[in-house]
Amino acid sequence: TEPAAEEPTKEEMPAATQPATATEAPAAAPTEAPAAEAGAAMLDTAALANAGSMLEQHNSYHAVITMNFEGTADDGTPVNTVMNMDMVNVINPPASRFAINLSGVGEEVDSQVIEVTTIGDTVYTSMTGLGCFSGSAADMGGFTDSFDSMISPEQDLVSDLEKARYVGEETHNGFVSDCYAFDQNDMPAGFEDAETLDGLVCLSKEYGFISHITLNATGVSDQFSGGAATTKGNMTLTYEITELDEVAELTIPADCQIDAADSQWPILEDATNVSTFQGITIYSTMTPFADVVSFYQDEMAAAGYQPSGDPAILGETSAILDFTSDAGSVSVTITSIDDSGSLQVLISPSE
């Protein structure tokens, strides 16, 4: 009799391309990844490098990163830094949202949420208690390809893995995945200075993208040291995809939906991209330059402000108008944005 044909091994069938069968029962996610066995299948590095493009085939995704650094500063002070990152990306219509919340890194930013939302060609940036400012992606350093603005886990968290070994199948947020363990003998790029490290990377069996990453490392940090020069401690990091093709579109953040009629300062009727940040108001207008200057000379006088010296006319499309009253001083700066005739108006008060 002829010997039975051998079943393909994990090495022959890359984890990122194995089809999930309807008869497979999802495995319960263990609290810790089992140790890799000798002779276990290796992670297909090509599949890992291609994981980002597999995610791009979907119209939207929602990813979450949680990082905790706990240790002791050089002076003996205990440090506990927590960072939460929430990322949503939509391909059509193009939009993305990136929010970060930090604690334990200093009083000025503790528990402050910084949110950057890109919708089309406009970027909206809001900060807790400080307001919002917006502008074109080109002016604010935005990204034309929204995927470029997100963290790419295959590049930023687990790149250059070559020895990760298959440790089993797990289900994370409904995505049945093949998981691979690695340690300090196979350091991802960017973690070479860690004293010890172990981790787990899981690729969706059905879709091929990275569904889950866990990293545990010990070492010295000067980035999450709570104001100290350096801190030695332990870091844990988790990345996961929580939703796929669930978000249809993103909307302008509430802090950035500013009605010109509610502004404390006079604003032209055709104002666009109105933003307020730490008391400063800024917007764009297509009103002719001379009319903008006249508008503020008249409207600020009506509001009880007197000119503080002669207006500084810096050219055909630039001027600085200073006003004063018992309530304080206000500076109105008018500048040209581009050759389209659009002007930018910045209103900056001071006590």
pLDDT at 123: 87
Q: CATH code for 258-350?
A: 3.30.310
Question: What is the residue-averaged pLDDT of the chain?
Answer: 80
pLDDT in tens, 244-266: 999 988 988 887 877 766 778 99
pLDDT at 39 over 60: no
pLDDT at 99 over 60: yes
- For the residues 79-84, what does the mean pLDDT come to? 88
pLDDT at 8: 43
What residue has token string 């055909």? 316
pLDDT in tens, 109-162: 556 788 999 988 888 888 877 778 777 776 665 544 444 456 788 988 898 888
Phi, then psi, of 317 in degrees rounded to 5 = -135, 25
Which amino acid appears at position 333 of this protein? T
Mind giving me the DSSP string for 195-258?
A: SEEEEEEEEETTT-SEEEEEEEEEEEESSSSTTSS-EEEEEEEEEEEEEES--------GGG--
Q: How confident is the model at residue 38 (pLDDT cuts 50, 70, 90)?
A: very low
Provide the residue ranges of all domains of the chain, joining segments of one domain with +.
15-244, 258-350
pLDDT at 321: 95
Q: What is the share, in percent, of the chain residues with pLDDT greater than 90?
A: 40
pLDDT at 140: 62
pLDDT at 90: 93
Q: How confident is the model at residue 220 (pLDDT cuts 50, 70, 90)?
A: confident
Distances (CA, A) of 298 to 88, 176, 201, 251, 268: 45, 66, 64, 36, 12
Q: Note whether 164 and 187 are within 8 A (CB).
A: no
pLDDT at 54: 93
Q: How confident is the model at residue 77 (pLDDT cuts 50, 70, 90)?
A: confident
- For the residues 180-190, what does the mean pLDDT come to? 86
Indicate the pTM of the whole model: 0.70
For the chain, the residue count is 351
- For the residues 283-295, what does the mean pLDDT come to? 94
Phi, then psi, of 135 in degrees rounded to 5 = 175, 180
Furthest C-alpha separation in the chain: 105
- For the residues 57-74, what does the mean pLDDT come to? 91
Q: Which of 50-54, 147-151, 279-283 has the lowest mean pLDDT?
A: 147-151
Q: Determine the Cα–Cα distance for residues 125 and 92; give it in Å rounded to an integer.
A: 21
Q: Note whether 319 and 293 are within 8 A (CB).
A: yes
Domain spanning 15-244, CATH architecture: Clam (2.50)
pLDDT at 146: 46
Helix (H), strand (E), coil (C) string for 78-133: EEEEEEEEEEEEECCCCEEEEEEEEECCCCCCCCEEEEEEEECCEEEEEECCCEEE
pLDDT in tens, 296-338: 999 999 999 999 988 888 888 899 999 999 989 999 999 987 7
Which helix (H) or strand (E) covers residue 322, if one does? strand 319-325
Give the residue among 344, 206, 164 at the shortest CA–CA distance from 271.
344
pLDDT at 318: 93
- For the residues 43-69, what does the mean pLDDT come to? 93
- Whether the upstream peptide bond of residue 93 has omega within 30° of 0, thus cis, is yes
Q: Determine the Cα–Cα distance for residues 301 and 319; give it in Å rounded to an integer.
A: 17
pLDDT in tens, 337-351: 777 788 999 999 986
What residue has token string 């508008």? 295
Q: Note whether 239 and 157 are within 8 A (CB).
A: yes
Q: How confident is the model at residue 273 (pLDDT cuts 50, 70, 90)?
A: confident
Q: Determine the Cα–Cα distance for residues 176 and 202; give it in Å rounded to an integer.
A: 9
Q: How confident is the model at residue 224 (pLDDT cuts 50, 70, 90)?
A: low
pLDDT at 80 over 90: no
